[in-house]
Structure 1
């Protein structure tokens, strides 16, 4: 009797959110993403050979990309646990397979159910409110997919026009674009609070130290693991700041 009183009661809509039919409906989407990743990997490998890259360099690039993906994957996995508790396993699996942004998915789902006066996790959420949340997540993420589908082929032409035909500027423009993208994502974290600021600062310093060590001693494996190690060190630093001093702002 005490157990029934203490045990949390799952909202009624979660029966639909975790239904077998919904699991089956997400499988084609996930398979399409896996097929796409396989085709991209195969194309990149073949193009690398055509460009004259050696097998050693191709394997090094593959390992570097694989290792660098570990950090972001852990963050997505942690976010998926939160998303599973609110919209169910199938939708969380499908959405984070396609987009991978918990920072978008959770607010989109909250926006959907809020139109009916609910908040995620409420016991009284109806099936209609849940369906609206799923549609909000799906339709809200189509913009990124459409830009990727119809705009990617024009990116190289656009980059060439910016460089005005100067091939020496192309690596500079590409590096500047990457730095701008990282700076955009980090700017919100730096101002989010003390733990976030500490995490970014320590992670950045760790990355610089690892790259300096790799270049000065010509250690290839450090170059490959540098991003993953720096992200992990930054994560530990953020947790340490949160536990010891908390947030100052």
Structure 2
């Protein structure tokens, strides 16, 4: 009896993409990120004490930050699954540890392999094409890291100059900058399709409702959980719309 030849379901380049040596090469990068996060948290805690903040307020801020990170982390985890399927586990782990933007990493990888006439997931992708994709992802994200490294320390000076020395304007400017950043990220999603629009709308309404409830009942823990909960509700709403109605535009 002749057995049919088995056709591999995984592209050949994925053997390199998930190799032991590539896993080992990504470990130092991830460790550096973890070290930076540890140093930053330690400095923030110590500086908060020097500014006169009580330990209770510091713990509340720390807990609020952890809770607020849950929503974005779920989105990054979902995107990481797609990235693992195309560029392998090690590179996906490294890239999303450093940058965390699937919206950038996937197009950058696609741009790299397209120079050799391939598309992500093609079985015939060569090692050179895969290496080019990884270089495109890495070098393409370098600009953000350089701006953060050399420009962050000057942001406070810029903010003070914008407020023209008026201390009452500084919180307003900071809030406006934060709202502008959120609006910038959402502007492209609102018109991307029905699930995206619904996700933004439901998440925004959930945030308003939770904050109103927290203010009317004076529930502190609800304020802390509001952002993370609203993001999770919006994410679930987008998934539900995608599964049920799809996209109408």
TM-score band by shorter chain is over 0.9
Distance 1:2 1:108, change over 3 A: farther
The whole-number CA distance in structure 2 between the counterparts of 1:163 and 1:204 is 29
Distance 1:245 1:9, change over 3 A: closer
User: What is the CA-CA distance between 1:108 and the residue it aligns to?
Assistant: 0.3
Instruction: Give the TM-score taking structure 1 as reference length.
Output: 0.96
Quote the residue 2:153 is aligned against.
153
The whole-number CA distance in structure 2 between the counterparts of 1:17 and 1:89 is 7
Quote the residue 1:179 is aligned against.
179
Distance 1:198 1:13, change over 3 A: same
Instruction: Give the TM-score taking structure 2 as reference length.
Output: 0.96
User: What is the CA-CA distance between 1:153 and the residue it aligns to?
Assistant: 0.7
Summarize the alignment of residues 1-249 of structure 1 with structure 2, pairs less than 5 Å apart: 5=6, 8-249=8-249
User: What is the CA-CA distance between 1:238 and the residue it aligns to?
Assistant: 1.8
Query: Which digits, 9 at most, give the CA deviation of each residue in 1:166-203, with x for residues without a partner?
Result: 01100000000000000011111110111111111111
The whole-number CA distance in structure 2 between the counterparts of 1:3 and 1:210 is 59
The whole-number CA distance in structure 1 between the counterparts of 2:208 and 2:233 is 12
> Structure 1 unaligned runs (5+)?
none
DSSP-derived class of the 2:238 partner: helix
The whole-number CA distance in structure 2 between the counterparts of 1:29 and 1:195 is 35
User: What is the CA-CA distance between 1:240 and the residue it aligns to?
Assistant: 2.7
The whole-number CA distance in structure 2 between the counterparts of 1:12 and 1:169 is 58
Cα RMSD (Å) = 1.4
User: What is the CA-CA distance between 1:15 and the residue it aligns to?
Assistant: 1.1
The whole-number CA distance in structure 2 between the counterparts of 1:37 and 1:205 is 32
Task: Give 4+ residue runs of structure 1 displaced > 3 Å after superposition.
Answer: 1-5
Distance 1:85 1:4, change over 3 A: farther
User: What is the CA-CA distance between 1:245 and the residue it aligns to?
Assistant: 3.0
The whole-number CA distance in structure 1 between the counterparts of 2:187 and 2:151 is 26
DSSP-derived class of the 2:10 partner: coil
